[in-house]
């Protein structure tokens, strides 16, 4: 089945344009621009957040950042508890295995019949 004319035209356009665009996005210049852009947007975000936090703290209210920080701490504690639980389970299992292992004992030979 042949493709419609508009699609064939698009394909030709794409074939012509895509390599240059890919080259552009892979260039060092593009990376530098992205790095600067990211830094600027990051500092604007940080500054805005700082101002809103100060304002909320002025009214003795928690900011979103405070809640996020608390959630992070809880998650970190939770991971630590889970890790300890797994270590404890492993230690218990090892202890149980050790207890099940047969101990050496003096066994008297069974007298053979006849």
Partner 1 sequence: MATQTDTLSEQFQKTVGDMMANPVGFFAEEWNKGVKRSWNLTRHLMGIDTAETGVTPRDAVWSNAKTVLYRYRNDDVTVREPILLVMSLVSRSFILDLQPGNSFVEHLRDRGFDVFLLDWGVPDEEEAGNGLDLYTDQLIPAAVAEVNRMTGENGVNVFGYCYGGLLSLLYAAAHPDDPINSLLVMATPVDFREMPKAMSGVGRDGIDPRDILDSTGNVPAASIRAGFSLLTPTSDLSTVADFWERLDDDKFLNSYQAMTSWTRDHIPFPGQAMIESTEIFSDGNGFINDDLVVGGRRRHLRDITVPFLNVIAERDHIVPPASTRGLVELVGSEDKNEIELPAGHVGLIVGGGGRKRCMPAMSDWMLSQSTVLED
Q: Can you give the binding site for partner 1, defined by CB under 8 A?
A: 2-5, 7-10, 12, 14, 17-18, 21-22, 24-27, 30-32, 34-35, 38-39, 42, 45, 49, 64-65, 68, 71-72, 74-76, 78-79, 82-83, 86
Q: Are 93 and 99 in contact (CB under 8 A)?
A: no
Place of tokens 């892979």: 26
Shortest separation between residue 56's beta carbon and partner 1, angstroms: 14
Distance spanning both ends of the chain, measured CA to CA: 95
Shortest separation between residue 49's beta carbon and partner 1, angstroms: 7
Rounded Cα distance, 46 and 57, in Å? 16
């Amino acid at each position: 089945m042949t493709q419609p004319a508009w699609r064939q035209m698009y394909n030709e356009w794409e074939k012509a344009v895509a390599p240059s665009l890919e080259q552009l996005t892979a260039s060092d210049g593009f990376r530098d621009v992205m790095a600067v852009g990211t830094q600027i947007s990051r500092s604007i975000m940080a500054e805005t957040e700082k101002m809103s936090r100060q304002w909320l703290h002025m009214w003795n209210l928690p900011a979103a950042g405070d809640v996020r920080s608390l959630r992070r701490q809880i998650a970190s504690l939770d991971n630590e508890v889970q890790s300890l639980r797994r270590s404890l389970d492993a230690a218990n299992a090892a202890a149980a295995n050790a207890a099940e292992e047969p101990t050496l004992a003096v066994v008297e030979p069974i007298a053979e019949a006849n």
